[in-house]
Structure formats: C-alpha cells, structure tokens
Amino acid sequence: MGDMDYKRWMCYEPHKLVLETSKLDPIDENQILIKVEYCGICHSDIHIIDGEWNSRLNIRYPITPGHEVIGKVIDKGKNVVGVDIGDVVGIPWVHSSCLVCENCLSSNEQFCEQRKITGIDYIGGYSQYCVLNKEFAVPVNKLVNIERWGLEEIAPLYCAGLTTYTALKKLNVNPMMRVVIVGFGGLGHMAVQYSKIFGCHTIVLSSDPSKKKLAEKIGADEFITYENLDTINKVDVILSTLPNSEIVMKLITKLRPYGKICFVGAHMNQIPFQPIQLISKNLVLTGNAVGSRMDLIETLKISITKNIKPIVEVYEYQDLPIALDIVRSGKARLRAVLKVTSN
C-alpha cells in the first residue's frame, strides 16, 4: 500500500501548523499500518506545537503531533502475529522502545532512554495513517468487548485514561482514603471515575462552578471551587491535573501524615514549597509519566469493562486549529477529540 497519497497536519516550527498531502511509505515486515479514525487532543500537544518543550524533548521539526490514536489495521508485515486486518489498535505516547534495557525488561519502557514518542519521533495521530511496530500493537477488540463504545471514546484512554489510572494505582489509594482531584477537565474527569473504582471518598476542586452537577453525576462526593479551599477537610492524596502548581501547593497543609501530592498535569513551572512542610508529616511529592504496555492493557480492560468513559467533544479534521485554540484556552468541554477519517 506504499506510495499512496494521504493527508496529515505538519508542524514545521512552533505555532506553524499546515495540512498537507504526503506519500505513504511501505511498511516493513515487523510493522502494521493503521488507518486513523480518531485522535485525542492532549494539552501536551499544545506544549509541543507551541515550542514549549523543545529543549526537554529535543524536538526536531517538522513533526505530525497526536498521541491518543485509535484506528483500524489495514496492512501488516509478514512477521506480525496476533493482530489481523480490521482489528482496532491504538497508539499512546510511547511509540516504541529498545525492549532490552533494564527499564524495558521491568515493564517500564516509558523510561527507556531509547524510547520513541508518538507525534515527535514518529508520525502521530493528526494523520490519516500511522505505522506501529508489532511489539507495541494491542488489538483492543480482542482484549475486551468494545461493542458499546465509540472509537472516539477509546482514543483518550491512551493518555488521559492511562495517566490518571496508573497514577492512582501507584499511589496505592484505597477505600479508607480521601482523594482530591484538582481540575475537572480532560484528565480530571477520568481521575474522578477511577478514584471511585478504588472506593475512595473523592473531592473535585475546580474553578468552574457550572461543572458541579456533572462531577457529582460521575461520582464526585464533594465539589469545591478554588475560592473555598479553606472548607476542605484533611485528605490523603492530592492529584493535580492542572497545567500549573499554584492551587495545588496551597493545599499542602490539608494533607494528613503520610499524605501524597501527585502531578499528572505536565508543566514547567517552579513548585514553591518548604522542605519542612514535607518533613513534618512524612509527605510525598511525586508525579506520574503515562504508563507501560502492561499498564495500558490494564487501563483498557478496567475502563471498558467498568464503563469508565471519557466525555468527548469531537472536531472535524479540517478544524484542528480551532480545536487546539479551544484546548489552549482551557475552554474544551472535557476531552477534545479529532475525527480524522470519515466513515
């Protein structure tokens, strides 16, 4: 299927995004070719497109962003087994890794020093077609029953779902804990649902009082706005999904002994705190970087079997710049998703 024309959004330099026609290269014997149907729009994409992460990730333009990819297999190499034409396959942030280092062998390939990132090192989901290596291809339709799910709902599980579920799991939350989810957006509304799966008393902290009913509908036990921080009682875990740390660090006094603050909203801000604040209560300050392939499989299984769905707002392919502006301004309803292929 090589040498076929297809469309993809190209970022030639920070802030310069252009829809262009490219030629599809042939896949090799260990790859699969995916016809992309949807791609979630993550705030990390904004950081990349706006050039805010250039030094951290050594980004070399041009690139085609997008790392919450879902589509169907339309071609595969002769060495690919367990994945068939027509299978539903997604691509997360970690596109591939060396598979032989200590991190890879311990199911932590997200920390592999040779890892490749979807949308930076490889063509991402703002493209009509994507290529994936056989070792990282998980056919969702063979993993779990997806009949009641739209592919636009599955796409955000590859980052928003994976990141928040694994964060809570690694924080060892349990039904005895009070958990604060800071921010009720693309990440936050997923975190609320996972927190309830773990049985936690879940508190949503948001700047937008209009989100109260929805937060309570999907499981929040309490909903508190930023101007009412003082009303929060002692808690065990604070999970921040915000693109800054200001609100979060104001809550450090609300933590019980051995409490934890975890950042999943990626940003480059300085964190203002005094070490004595951690020492006095044995507090833990941590973060969570997406997850491994095993984490992804667990996230997909838990989410789909428990019907933990992202609430999405779908944008047409040609409207990507509009969708990015909405996400950039913080006005996305919850999770923005790009419809790449018309059925």
Are 149 and 24 within one domain? Answer: yes
Residue 195 contacts residue 202 (beta carbons within 8 Å) = yes
CA–CA separation, 179 and 245 (whole Å): 17
Strands 16-24 and 129-133: unpaired
Average of pLDDT values for 21-42? 96
Are 43 and 180 within one domain? Answer: no
Which range marks the domain in which residue 122 is found? 4-159+291-339
Are 204 and 268 within one domain? Answer: yes
Question: 185: exposed, middle or buried (C-beta count within 10 Å: 0-12, 13-18, 19+)?
Answer: buried
Q: Of 16, 3, 277, 144, which Cα lies nearest the Cα of 261?
A: 277
Which residue did the predictor score with more confidence, 127 or 244? 127
pLDDT in tens, 165-189: 999 999 999 999 999 999 999 999 9
Residue where the block lists tokens 């997923």: 190
Are 138 and 38 within one domain? Answer: yes
Write down the pTM of the prediction.
0.94
Residue 75: which CATH number? Answer: 3.90.180.10
Residue 281 contacts residue 258 (beta carbons within 8 Å) = yes
Residue 251: which CATH number? Answer: 3.40.50.720
Are 150 and 297 within one domain? Answer: yes
What pLDDT is stored for residue 83 in this prediction? Answer: 96
pLDDT in tens, 47-74: 999 998 887 888 989 999 999 999 999 9
pLDDT band per the 50, 70, 90 thresholds, residue 1 = low
Are 115 and 35 within one domain? Answer: yes
Are 184 and 274 within one domain? Answer: yes
As for how many domains the chain has, the answer is 2
Are 10 and 147 within one domain? Answer: yes
Q: Give the end of a domain, one of 248, 269, 287.
A: 287
The yes-or-no verdict on residue 243 having pLDDT over 80 is: no
pLDDT in tens, 265-279: 877 777 878 889 899
pLDDT band per the 50, 70, 90 thresholds, residue 245 = confident
Q: Give the end of a domain, one of 243, 260, 287.
A: 287
Are 135 and 61 within one domain? Answer: yes
Are 312 and 331 within one domain? Answer: yes
The yes-or-no verdict on residue 235 having pLDDT over 60 is: yes
CA–CA separation, 2 and 156 (whole Å): 29
The yes-or-no verdict on residue 164 having pLDDT over 60 is: yes
Strands 335-339 and 88-91: unpaired
What pLDDT is stored for residue 40 in this prediction? Answer: 97
Are 271 and 149 within one domain? Answer: no
CA–CA separation, 100 and 118 (whole Å): 20
Are 296 and 155 within one domain? Answer: yes
